[in-house]
Structure 1
Amino acid sequence: MRNISDIIEQYLKNILHESPEGTVEIQRNDLADQFSCVPSQINYVISTRFTLEKGYVVESKRGGGGYIRIQRFELPQNVALHAHLKSTIGCGIDQNAAEGLIYQLEEARFLTKREACLMRAAVSRECLTVKLPYRDEIRAKIMKAMLISLLGK
Protein backbone atom coordinates (compact mmCIF):
# COMPACT_ATOMS: atom_id res chain seq x y z
CA MET A 1 0.00 0.00 0.00
CA ARG A 2 1.26 3.47 -0.87
CA ASN A 3 1.67 6.04 1.86
CA ILE A 4 0.09 9.49 1.88
CA SER A 5 3.30 11.17 0.68
CA ASP A 6 3.38 8.95 -2.41
CA ILE A 7 -0.27 9.71 -3.11
CA ILE A 8 0.21 13.47 -2.77
CA GLU A 9 3.32 13.35 -4.96
CA GLN A 10 1.50 11.40 -7.67
CA TYR A 11 -1.48 13.77 -7.53
CA LEU A 12 0.78 16.80 -7.97
CA LYS A 13 2.69 15.15 -10.82
CA ASN A 14 -0.58 14.31 -12.56
CA ILE A 15 -1.89 17.86 -12.43
CA LEU A 16 1.51 19.18 -13.52
CA HIS A 17 1.44 16.80 -16.48
CA GLU A 18 -2.06 17.97 -17.45
CA SER A 19 -1.11 21.65 -17.18
CA PRO A 20 -0.29 23.18 -20.58
CA GLU A 21 2.23 25.53 -18.94
CA GLY A 22 3.82 22.80 -16.82
CA THR A 23 2.99 24.85 -13.73
CA VAL A 24 0.56 24.35 -10.88
CA GLU A 25 -0.43 26.67 -8.07
CA ILE A 26 -1.86 25.14 -4.94
CA GLN A 27 -3.14 26.31 -1.61
CA ARG A 28 -1.36 24.24 1.02
CA ASN A 29 -4.33 24.15 3.41
CA ASP A 30 -6.78 23.21 0.65
CA LEU A 31 -4.56 20.34 -0.45
CA ALA A 32 -4.15 19.20 3.16
CA ASP A 33 -7.94 19.19 3.54
CA GLN A 34 -8.33 17.24 0.31
CA PHE A 35 -5.99 14.51 1.56
CA SER A 36 -7.04 14.69 5.21
CA CYS A 37 -3.55 15.41 6.43
CA VAL A 38 -1.72 18.21 8.20
CA PRO A 39 -0.31 21.07 6.10
CA SER A 40 3.22 20.16 7.16
CA GLN A 41 2.77 16.87 5.26
CA ILE A 42 2.29 18.92 2.08
CA ASN A 43 5.45 20.89 2.91
CA TYR A 44 7.36 17.64 3.42
CA VAL A 45 6.29 16.22 0.06
CA ILE A 46 7.13 19.40 -1.81
CA SER A 47 10.49 19.96 -0.11
CA THR A 48 11.70 16.37 -0.59
CA ARG A 49 10.15 15.30 -3.88
CA PHE A 50 9.95 18.50 -5.92
CA THR A 51 13.52 19.74 -5.70
CA LEU A 52 15.63 21.59 -8.24
CA GLU A 53 17.82 18.50 -8.64
CA LYS A 54 14.74 16.53 -9.65
CA GLY A 55 13.71 19.11 -12.23
CA TYR A 56 11.26 21.31 -10.32
CA VAL A 57 11.23 24.95 -9.34
CA VAL A 58 9.12 25.71 -6.27
CA GLU A 59 8.01 29.21 -5.31
CA SER A 60 5.86 30.04 -2.33
CA LYS A 61 4.06 33.09 -1.07
CA ARG A 62 2.92 33.14 2.53
CA GLY A 63 -0.07 34.92 3.94
CA GLY A 64 -3.83 34.99 3.39
CA GLY A 65 -3.67 34.75 -0.40
CA GLY A 66 -0.55 32.64 -0.31
CA TYR A 67 0.18 29.80 -2.67
CA ILE A 68 2.80 27.28 -3.61
CA ARG A 69 3.74 27.24 -7.29
CA ILE A 70 5.48 24.18 -8.69
CA GLN A 71 6.96 24.31 -12.15
CA ARG A 72 8.50 21.42 -14.01
CA PHE A 73 11.37 22.27 -16.29
CA GLU A 74 12.10 19.93 -19.14
CA LEU A 75 15.48 18.67 -20.10
CA PRO A 76 16.67 20.05 -23.43
CA GLN A 77 16.72 17.76 -26.46
CA ASN A 78 19.62 16.25 -28.44
CA VAL A 79 22.65 18.55 -28.74
CA ALA A 80 21.35 20.86 -26.03
CA LEU A 81 20.94 17.85 -23.72
CA HIS A 82 24.61 16.98 -24.05
CA ALA A 83 25.62 20.57 -23.29
CA HIS A 84 23.25 20.59 -20.29
CA LEU A 85 24.71 17.34 -18.97
CA LYS A 86 28.27 18.53 -19.47
CA SER A 87 27.63 21.77 -17.60
CA THR A 88 25.62 20.06 -14.84
CA ILE A 89 28.18 17.35 -14.21
CA GLY A 90 31.30 19.44 -14.78
CA CYS A 91 34.58 18.19 -13.34
CA GLY A 92 32.93 16.94 -10.17
CA ILE A 93 29.43 16.19 -8.93
CA ASP A 94 28.19 15.31 -5.45
CA GLN A 95 25.91 12.37 -4.78
CA ASN A 96 22.71 14.42 -4.31
CA ALA A 97 23.20 16.29 -7.57
CA ALA A 98 24.06 13.04 -9.39
CA GLU A 99 20.95 11.29 -8.08
CA GLY A 100 18.83 14.31 -8.98
CA LEU A 101 20.16 14.29 -12.53
CA ILE A 102 19.57 10.56 -12.86
CA TYR A 103 16.03 11.10 -11.57
CA GLN A 104 15.43 13.83 -14.19
CA LEU A 105 16.72 11.60 -16.98
CA GLU A 106 14.54 8.71 -15.82
CA GLU A 107 11.44 10.93 -15.50
CA ALA A 108 12.06 12.28 -19.02
CA ARG A 109 12.43 8.67 -20.21
CA PHE A 110 16.01 9.11 -21.42
CA LEU A 111 16.90 6.28 -19.02
CA THR A 112 14.98 3.13 -18.14
CA LYS A 113 14.31 2.31 -14.51
CA ARG A 114 16.98 -0.39 -14.66
CA GLU A 115 19.59 1.94 -16.18
CA ALA A 116 18.82 4.56 -13.53
CA CYS A 117 19.23 1.96 -10.75
CA LEU A 118 22.57 0.83 -12.17
CA MET A 119 23.80 4.41 -12.43
CA ARG A 120 22.75 5.21 -8.85
CA ALA A 121 24.63 2.14 -7.62
CA ALA A 122 27.76 2.98 -9.63
CA VAL A 123 27.99 6.56 -8.33
CA SER A 124 27.00 5.95 -4.71
CA ARG A 125 29.38 6.97 -1.95
CA GLU A 126 29.29 3.37 -0.69
CA CYS A 127 30.83 2.28 -3.98
CA LEU A 128 33.24 5.19 -4.34
CA THR A 129 35.22 4.84 -1.12
CA VAL A 130 37.76 7.58 -1.71
CA LYS A 131 38.07 10.94 0.00
CA LEU A 132 36.59 14.18 -1.28
CA PRO A 133 37.19 15.91 -3.70
CA TYR A 134 38.43 12.85 -5.60
CA ARG A 135 35.13 11.02 -5.04
CA ASP A 136 33.14 13.79 -6.79
CA GLU A 137 35.64 13.86 -9.66
CA ILE A 138 35.46 10.08 -10.14
CA ARG A 139 31.65 10.20 -9.88
CA ALA A 140 31.57 12.85 -12.64
CA LYS A 141 33.79 10.74 -14.91
CA ILE A 142 31.68 7.62 -14.33
CA MET A 143 28.45 9.52 -15.01
CA LYS A 144 29.81 11.08 -18.21
CA ALA A 145 31.05 7.71 -19.48
CA MET A 146 27.75 5.97 -18.69
CA LEU A 147 25.62 8.73 -20.21
CA ILE A 148 27.71 8.89 -23.38
CA SER A 149 27.28 5.13 -23.69
CA LEU A 150 23.54 5.20 -22.97
CA LEU A 151 22.49 8.39 -24.75
CA GLY A 152 24.95 8.31 -27.64
CA LYS A 153 27.31 11.06 -28.65
Structure 2
Amino acid sequence: MRNISDLIEQHLKNILQDSPGGSIEIQRSELADLFQCVPSQINYVINTRFTVEKGYLVESKRGGGGYIRIRKVQIVSKARLQELLTEELIGESITQGVGYAIIDRLLEEGLISARESTLMKIATSRNVLNEVPQIRDRLRATMLKQMIAAILLR
Protein backbone atom coordinates (compact mmCIF):
# COMPACT_ATOMS: atom_id res chain seq x y z
CA MET A 1 0.00 0.00 0.00
CA ARG A 2 1.25 3.47 -0.86
CA ASN A 3 1.96 5.91 1.93
CA ILE A 4 0.40 9.34 2.35
CA SER A 5 3.42 11.11 0.85
CA ASP A 6 3.12 9.05 -2.34
CA LEU A 7 -0.59 9.87 -2.57
CA ILE A 8 -0.02 13.60 -2.10
CA GLU A 9 2.79 13.60 -4.67
CA GLN A 10 0.67 11.75 -7.22
CA HIS A 11 -2.30 14.06 -6.61
CA LEU A 12 -0.14 17.15 -7.21
CA LYS A 13 1.45 15.65 -10.32
CA ASN A 14 -2.00 14.82 -11.72
CA ILE A 15 -3.17 18.39 -11.15
CA LEU A 16 0.01 19.73 -12.76
CA GLN A 17 -0.41 17.47 -15.76
CA ASP A 18 -3.96 18.71 -16.33
CA SER A 19 -3.03 22.35 -15.74
CA PRO A 20 -2.53 24.61 -18.73
CA GLY A 21 0.92 26.14 -18.50
CA GLY A 22 2.20 23.47 -16.12
CA SER A 23 1.71 25.59 -13.01
CA ILE A 24 -0.59 25.25 -10.00
CA GLU A 25 -1.29 27.19 -6.83
CA ILE A 26 -2.42 25.29 -3.78
CA GLN A 27 -3.14 26.11 -0.20
CA ARG A 28 -1.28 23.95 2.25
CA SER A 29 -4.18 23.81 4.71
CA GLU A 30 -6.73 22.79 2.06
CA LEU A 31 -4.49 19.99 0.83
CA ALA A 32 -3.86 18.87 4.41
CA ASP A 33 -7.64 18.76 4.99
CA LEU A 34 -8.15 16.76 1.80
CA PHE A 35 -5.60 14.13 2.86
CA GLN A 36 -6.42 14.39 6.57
CA CYS A 37 -2.83 15.09 7.54
CA VAL A 38 -0.87 17.90 9.15
CA PRO A 39 0.36 20.78 6.96
CA SER A 40 3.97 19.82 7.71
CA GLN A 41 3.33 16.59 5.75
CA ILE A 42 2.49 18.74 2.72
CA ASN A 43 5.71 20.71 3.26
CA TYR A 44 7.69 17.48 3.43
CA VAL A 45 6.28 16.22 0.12
CA ILE A 46 6.88 19.52 -1.65
CA ASN A 47 10.40 19.96 -0.25
CA THR A 48 11.53 16.43 -1.11
CA ARG A 49 9.62 15.53 -4.26
CA PHE A 50 9.24 18.81 -6.12
CA THR A 51 12.85 19.99 -6.29
CA VAL A 52 14.81 21.82 -8.97
CA GLU A 53 16.75 18.63 -9.72
CA LYS A 54 13.46 16.90 -10.45
CA GLY A 55 12.34 19.71 -12.74
CA TYR A 56 10.11 21.85 -10.52
CA LEU A 57 10.18 25.40 -9.24
CA VAL A 58 8.35 26.05 -5.99
CA GLU A 59 7.33 29.43 -4.61
CA SER A 60 5.70 29.85 -1.25
CA LYS A 61 3.83 32.69 0.41
CA ARG A 62 3.04 32.19 4.07
CA GLY A 63 0.35 33.73 6.20
CA GLY A 64 -3.34 34.39 5.60
CA GLY A 65 -4.21 33.71 2.01
CA GLY A 66 -0.78 32.16 1.53
CA TYR A 67 -0.18 29.65 -1.21
CA ILE A 68 2.35 27.30 -2.70
CA ARG A 69 2.96 27.63 -6.43
CA ILE A 70 4.50 24.62 -8.17
CA ARG A 71 5.69 24.92 -11.73
CA LYS A 72 7.06 22.17 -13.97
CA VAL A 73 10.11 23.50 -15.77
CA GLN A 74 9.99 22.87 -19.49
CA ILE A 75 13.15 21.97 -21.36
CA VAL A 76 13.81 24.65 -23.96
CA SER A 77 16.83 23.09 -25.67
CA LYS A 78 19.38 20.37 -25.10
CA ALA A 79 22.13 22.97 -24.88
CA ARG A 80 20.30 24.89 -22.14
CA LEU A 81 19.52 21.65 -20.31
CA GLN A 82 23.18 20.64 -20.39
CA GLU A 83 24.20 24.06 -19.09
CA LEU A 84 21.59 23.94 -16.33
CA LEU A 85 22.49 20.44 -15.24
CA THR A 86 26.26 20.61 -15.44
CA GLU A 87 26.91 24.20 -14.38
CA GLU A 88 24.08 25.08 -12.02
CA LEU A 89 22.90 21.81 -10.48
CA ILE A 90 25.91 19.52 -10.50
CA GLY A 91 28.79 21.92 -10.04
CA GLU A 92 32.04 20.53 -8.68
CA SER A 93 30.47 18.05 -6.28
CA ILE A 94 27.15 16.20 -6.01
CA THR A 95 25.58 13.75 -3.58
CA GLN A 96 24.17 10.42 -4.68
CA GLY A 97 20.60 11.53 -3.90
CA VAL A 98 20.80 14.68 -6.01
CA GLY A 99 22.58 12.79 -8.79
CA TYR A 100 19.85 10.17 -8.85
CA ALA A 101 17.17 12.90 -8.98
CA ILE A 102 18.85 14.36 -12.06
CA ILE A 103 19.05 10.93 -13.69
CA ASP A 104 15.36 10.37 -12.92
CA ARG A 105 14.55 13.70 -14.58
CA LEU A 106 16.44 12.69 -17.73
CA LEU A 107 14.44 9.45 -17.80
CA GLU A 108 11.15 11.26 -17.21
CA GLU A 109 11.91 13.66 -20.07
CA GLY A 110 12.62 10.75 -22.40
CA LEU A 111 16.25 11.72 -22.90
CA ILE A 112 17.52 8.38 -21.63
CA SER A 113 16.10 4.88 -21.46
CA ALA A 114 15.36 2.93 -18.29
CA ARG A 115 18.44 0.84 -18.99
CA GLU A 116 20.66 3.90 -19.35
CA SER A 117 19.20 5.27 -16.13
CA THR A 118 20.07 2.07 -14.28
CA LEU A 119 23.60 2.05 -15.67
CA MET A 120 24.15 5.71 -14.76
CA LYS A 121 22.93 5.09 -11.21
CA ILE A 122 25.15 2.05 -10.80
CA ALA A 123 28.20 3.90 -12.13
CA THR A 124 27.67 6.83 -9.75
CA SER A 125 26.61 4.87 -6.67
CA ARG A 126 28.42 4.85 -3.33
CA ASN A 127 29.18 1.17 -3.83
CA VAL A 128 31.18 1.82 -7.00
CA LEU A 129 32.72 5.13 -5.94
CA ASN A 130 34.26 3.68 -2.82
CA GLU A 131 36.15 6.77 -1.67
CA VAL A 132 35.92 9.30 1.12
CA PRO A 133 32.77 11.42 0.68
CA GLN A 134 34.48 14.57 -0.64
CA ILE A 135 36.38 12.68 -3.34
CA ARG A 136 33.39 10.45 -4.13
CA ASP A 137 31.06 13.43 -4.64
CA ARG A 138 33.59 15.18 -6.89
CA LEU A 139 34.10 12.01 -8.97
CA ARG A 140 30.30 11.60 -9.24
CA ALA A 141 29.95 15.19 -10.47
CA THR A 142 32.63 14.72 -13.12
CA MET A 143 31.13 11.42 -14.29
CA LEU A 144 27.59 12.80 -14.48
CA LYS A 145 28.71 15.86 -16.44
CA GLN A 146 30.48 13.65 -18.97
CA MET A 147 27.55 11.25 -19.26
CA ILE A 148 25.07 14.08 -19.75
CA ALA A 149 27.27 15.72 -22.38
CA ALA A 150 27.51 12.41 -24.28
CA ILE A 151 23.74 11.84 -24.07
CA LEU A 152 22.75 15.33 -25.15
CA LEU A 153 25.20 15.35 -28.06
CA ARG A 154 23.74 12.25 -29.69
The TM-score normalised by the length of structure 2 is 0.83
**Aligned CA distance change for structure 1 residues 18 and 98 (closer, same or farther; 3 Å):** same
Cα deviation for residue 79 of structure 1 reads 3.1
Once the two structures are superposed, the pairs formed by residues 2-151 of structure 1 within 5 Å of their partners are 2-87=2-87, 88-151=89-152
**Aligned CA distance change for structure 1 residues 47 and 84 (closer, same or farther; 3 Å):** closer
Q: How many pairs are equivalent?
A: 153
For 1:52, what is the secondary structure of its paired residue?
coil
**Counterpart-to-counterpart distance in 2, 1:90 and 1:33:** 40
Identity %: 52
Cα deviation for residue 132 of structure 1 reads 4.5
- Unaligned 5+ segments in structure 2 are none
**Which deviates further from its counterpart, 129-138 or 58-67?**
129-138
**Aligned CA distance change for structure 1 residues 32 and 52 (closer, same or farther; 3 Å):** same
- Unaligned 5+ segments in structure 1 are none
What is the aligned-residue RMSD (CA, Å)?
2.2
- Kindly provide the CA deviation profile for residues 38-87 of structure 1, in whole angstroms up to 9, marking residues without a partner as x: 22221111111111221212111111211111111123323333333432
- Kindly provide the CA deviation profile for residues 81-112 of structure 1, in whole angstroms up to 9, marking residues without a partner as x: 33334324444433233122112212212123
**Are the equivalent residues in 1 in contact too, given 2:91–2:141 (CA < 8 A)?**
yes
**Aligned CA distance change for structure 1 residues 122 and 26 (closer, same or farther; 3 Å):** same
The list of structure 1 runs, each at least 4 consecutive aligned residues, that deviate by more than 6 angstroms after superposition, is: none
